[in-house]
């Protein structure tokens, strides 16, 4: 995936970004943006050495708390949120 620095800044400023750290090392993160009543979740990443420890689940639960006003969450995989050919998975809150 390639993004310009300006595109990355714009996406960061309009998104919720959560980071999970252990001993000062970033081992997981997730980013989402809300549009109307849908939260678009992308960039859920956990370091391979730290997987299967519940970090991704913790990040997603915290994201749902922070964007609790959204009626649904859509996990977007692929090049970008705007990429219509990206794979998606949608779930309702609650």
Block means of pLDDT (10 residues each) for the chain, 94 residues, are 80 88 96 91 93 96 92 78 51 56
Q: What is the pLDDT of residue 81?
A: 47
Say what the pTM is. 0.72
End-to-end CA distance of the chain: 33
Domain extent listing, the chain: 5-92
- Asked if 81 and 42 touch (Cβ cutoff 8 Å), the reply is yes
pLDDT in tens, 1-23: 577 899 878 877 889 999 999 99
Q: What is the rounded CA–CA span in Å between residue 83 and residue 88?
A: 11
At the topology level, CATH places domain 5-92 in Aminopeptidase (3.40.630)
């Amino acid at each position: 995936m390639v993004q310009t620095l300006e595109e990355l800044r714009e996406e960061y400023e309009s998104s919720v970004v959560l980071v999970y750290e252990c001993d000062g090392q970033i081992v997981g993160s997730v980013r989402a943006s809300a549009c109307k009543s849908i939260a678009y979740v992308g960039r859920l990443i956990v370091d391979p050495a730290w997987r299967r420890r519940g970090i991704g689940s913790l990040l997603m639960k915290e994201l749902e708390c922070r964007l609790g006003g959204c009626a649904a969450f859509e996990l977007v995989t692929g090049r970008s949120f705007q990429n219509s050919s990206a794979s998606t998975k949608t779930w309702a809150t609650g």
